[in-house]
Chain A
């Protein structure tokens, strides 16, 4: 079989991979901000929830989390009489977001803490509320600091989407596996799949660099 014939099914799979990456990166980023800020909160309950979430999802394996959400959660739901069966796409996006969000939360926390004490003092002298200090002063300065590690996490997330093929979502990895089963032409198919992932990663890296330049446009040397 000619290798060009693999391109259509693989491209279809790549679209699913792109969608999964976008959804889970966006949800993951939201979770990262919530838990990263939550870990610095004064309220001990919010802090405990944030720390618990971060530690559990950083301390266990993504595939364990994915299987737990897909296979174990419905059993738990059954026990308490709620239907917690998730469609594969929901389980996949949820597991990827929760996982990447936990790593991102540490990035967010670290970046907020790296904002200098002087800035907090200036905000206090100008009578900003703690909330406005966070949103107006600390976060705008912390976000450019977060971008390089966020870029790495986004790549990590793209690679991790391949795991959802194991709960039968037809992403790029799934299509490749399907084609191999069908044709046994493993060398060509996996080489193509790897190259496509590599291409996606390069595009994603370039996009994150652009985003980094955009959020840090006020910085010295940025222009």
Chain B
């Protein structure tokens, strides 16, 4: 883990109509760091990931990824102007995302879901992509499901395909947007196992929005508690979970852990 931040939010503002979701958010993630974001719903957790994945734009501030502004480009005179689609496409190559609802392509087989973007976007040959896809299916424990369609898999299996699909693009940063929230309780474990294995074995930078407190505690280097569009408190998991400084954090943890 190096010290330079790979992700940096500098006074980032995001509004939906009258609602301010991110209120001058300052936030940094170091290269290789595994960060969990927790907090009540509507606190802007997922918005942070969606901004990074360029699914939502920003209304103020600057987001930097790998030292380069994400939503801005440097004009010839050095000032920052809103990013073009070309710039966004270049920046997006660093990022991958795992969605709450999996968002697999229903009309493609499992293997095709994983190989389609490497072939169409990265320009890999079908053979290279297939090999990469099979390795990743091995990694997520679904090597025998390659020729099935998503609707033939369980939710947990679909989400593991979702992870493999994101990894196939070889991102530096992997974003997990509540990856287990849509799953039946008995299927949560298999997905968390895969994420845990990734966290252990890879130097990927990982950003995880989750309600699985125990897992967040096990897997992350740092936990951020989001509340009302800002980071209310952050720290090492053992500190934040056992002895939070803020009353709001304590209340929140009390409420979720009681459930």
- Answer whether A and B touch in the complex at a CB cut-off of 8 Å: yes
The residues of A with any CB-CB pair to B shorter than 8 Å are 118-119, 121-122, 124-129, 132, 136-137, 140-141, 218-220
Report if B23 contacts A (CB, 8 A).
Answer: no
Please name all residues of chain A whose beta carbon is closer than 8 Å to the beta carbon of B107 when the two chains form the complex: 140-141, 218-219
* Residue B81 is within 8 A (CB to CB) of chain A in the complex: no
Chain B residues with CB under 8 A of A129? 89, 121
Residues of B participating in the A interface, judged by any CB pair closer than 8 Å: 53-55, 89, 92-93, 95-97, 99, 101, 103-108, 116-117, 120-121, 149, 151, 165-166, 169
Contacts of A121 in B (CB 8 A): 53, 55, 99, 103
Q: Which residues of A contact B55 (CB under 8 A)?
A: 121, 124-125
Asked if residues A118 and B99 are in contact (CB atoms below 8 Å), the reply is yes
Q: Is the CB of B106 within 8 A of A141?
A: yes
Known: A132-B121, A136-B116, A218-B149. A125 touches B96 (CB 8 A): yes
Decide: A126 and B101 in contact? CB cutoff 8 A. no
In the complex where A125-B92, A125-B96 touch, is A218 in contact with B166 (Cβ < 8 A)? no
**Within the complex, what minimum Cβ distance (angstroms) separates A219 from chain B?**
7
In the complex, A107 Cα to B169 Cα: how many Å?
Answer: 34
Query: What is the total of A-B residue contacts with beta carbons within 8 Å?
Result: 59
Residues of B within 8 A of A127 (CB): 89, 92-93, 117, 121, 169
Is B108 a contact of A218 with CB atoms below 8 Å? yes
Q: List 12 A-B contacts (CB under 8 A).
A: A118-B99, A121-B53, A122-B104, A124-B54, A125-B97, A126-B117, A126-B166, A127-B93, A127-B117, A129-B121, A132-B120, A136-B120
A119 touches B169 (CB 8 A): no
The answer to whether residues A128 and B121 also contact, given A137-B105, A141-B107, A219-B106 and a CB cut-off of 8 A, is yes
Give the docked Cα–Cα distance between A129 and B85 (Å): 10
* CB–CB B116/A218 < 8 A: no
CA of A118 to CA of B103, assembled, Å: 6
Cβ–Cβ contact A118 & B101, under 8 A: yes
Residues of chain A lying within 8 A (CB to CB) of residue B54: 124
User: Chain A contacts of B101 at CB under 8 A?
Assistant: 118
Listed residue (A118, A127, A129) with the most chain B CB atoms within 10 angstroms of its CB: A127
Additional pairs, 8, CB under 8 Å, beyond known A127-B92, A132-B120: A121-B55, A121-B99, A124-B55, A125-B55, A126-B121, A127-B89, A128-B121, A136-B120
Set B99, B120, B149: member contacting A122, Cβ < 8 A? B99
| Nearest chain B CB to A154 CB, angstrom units | 23
